[in-house]
Amino acid sequence: MVRLEVEVTPKSKRAGVVGRRGDVLQVRVAAPPEAGRANDELIKVIANFLGVPRASVNIVRGATARRKLLEVDGFAAGDLAAALARASSLGR
């Protein structure tokens, strides 16, 4: 299990991981921040990006904030480093 800090931009034109700022993953979601729809889409985007089932991704802190702490079960720290490196190249 790993923990991952993300910053979410809701109501974006396209959803996806757009890069990294320091240790924080920058994610855009198309859903508005109403009734948990943006959080649901965030979980879907992160699960797809990391290649894990949606049930493996949980919001630990910041459910109502733009900056959130996620916990990903079944994912190794070494795999996270590779995913973050991939995210760094997206922002360029």
Q: What is the DSSP string of 23-82?
A: TEEEEE-SS-SSTTHHHHHHHHHHHHHHT--GGGEEEEE-TTSSEEEEEETT--HHHHHH
Q: Could you tell me the two tokens for 1?
A: 């299990």
Name the average pLDDT for the chain: 90
Average pLDDT of 36-53?
95
Q: Is the pLDDT of residue 37 over 60?
A: yes
84 touches 25 (CB < 8 A): yes
Sole residue written with tokens 């993300």: 6
Query: So what's the pLDDT on residue 91?
Result: 56
pTM above 0.95, yes or no: no
Overall residue count recorded for the chain in this entry = 92
Expressed as residue numbers, the domain containing 44 is: 2-90
Beta bridge partners of 59: 70
Confidence of residue 34 (pLDDT cuts 50, 70, 90): very high
Q: What is the CATH number of the domain that holds 37?
A: 3.30.1200.10
Q: Convert the pLDDT of each residue in 1-26 to its tens digit.
A: 899 999 999 999 999 999 888 889 99
pLDDT given for residue 80 in this prediction: 76
| Total domains, the chain | 1
Cβ 46 vs Cβ 18: under 8 Å: no
